[in-house]
Amino acid sequence: MKFSLLPLLLAPLASAHFHLEYPISRGFDEDTMPNFPCGGMSQSSNRTQLPISGSFPVALSMGHIQSAVEVLIALGSEPGDSYNITLVPTFQVNGLGAFCLPHVDFSEALLGVNITDGMNATVQVQTNGDPSGGLYACADVQFSSSVTYSEPSSCKNNTNVAASAFPSSSAQRNANESTAEGAAQGSSGSSTTSASTSKGAAVALQTAAWGVLGAAFAGGLAVL
């Protein structure tokens, strides 16, 4: 389905989940996407080449009107299910279609190791499930000293797509254990912590990983 048609086709949206556009996804299967890890997709030998330092873009296409989103990485060629490094803590995306974080940081401070030429890793983007659990998409990558940062054409934000910071208590919860509003899954709902679209909430969100993106994030909110 062409994503540009999505706004016109309300019925299929509930099952449209999200697509990982960049780094290149292992694949997409709506039915297995709730399976941890990687939405049931097996490892690809076709790895997206990323620079060994700096940042890389994560481009998504959102199919749910509201999602909790988190970006994780597992280092190594055969990561199994050890997605134990959080690159971007859980935050909220509202609206359908293209959403891109142009500069996802992967510094030594986050990874605990220095990336060297030829190292492999797998990026996993996870969101809250529908209605429970998570939705998962992975991209196999290889860090290479022979490439530099480049932004794919898929790295853009659709007009009506906006991100909101969660309060830190919600940001620390994995997206697969969160509701789209940032509450714990399975809680009664009475203790819901909702995302705030105010600039104040974005400024207050100063977790280690988000700090780098924070400036761009606050900038994005400022134009709302």
Ligand X SMILES: *[C@@H]1O[C@H](CO)[C@@H](O)[C@H](O)[C@H]1NC(C)=O
Which residues are near ligand X by CB under 6 A? 24, 36, 45-48, 72, 77, 82-85, 100-102, 108, 112-114, 118-120, 126, 134, 142, 155-157, 163, 174, 176-177, 213, 216-217, 220
* 9/208 with CB nearer ligand X: 208
Based on CB atoms, which residue is closest to ligand X, 10 or 41? 41
Q: Pairing state of beta strands 48-50 and 134-143? A: parallel
Cβ(19)–Cβ(127) under 8 Å?
no
Of 9 and 169, CB closest to ligand X = 169
Give least dist CB 11 to ligand X, A.
27
Choice between 9 and 109, CB closer to ligand X:
109
Which DSSP letter does residue 77 get?
S
Using CB atoms, what's the residue nearest to ligand X?
Answer: 220
Whole-angstrom CA distances from 159 to 52, 99, 131 are 32, 10, 26
Residue 107 φ/ψ, nearest 5 degrees: -70, 165
Min separation Cβ 85 and ligand X, Å:
6
* Shortest distance (Å) from residue 203 CB to ligand X: 14
The least distance separating ligand X from the CB of residue 80, rounded to whole angstroms, comes to 7
CB atoms within 10 A of CB 120: 16
Q: Provide the token pair at 38.
A: 């990687």
Whole-number minimum distance, CB 12 to ligand X, in Å? 24
Which one, 8 or 112, has the nearer CB to ligand X?
112
**Helical ranges in the chain per DSSP H:** 108-111, 168-171, 199-204, 208-222
Q: Is 129 exposed, middle or buried (0-12, 13-18, 19+ CB in 10 A)?
A: buried
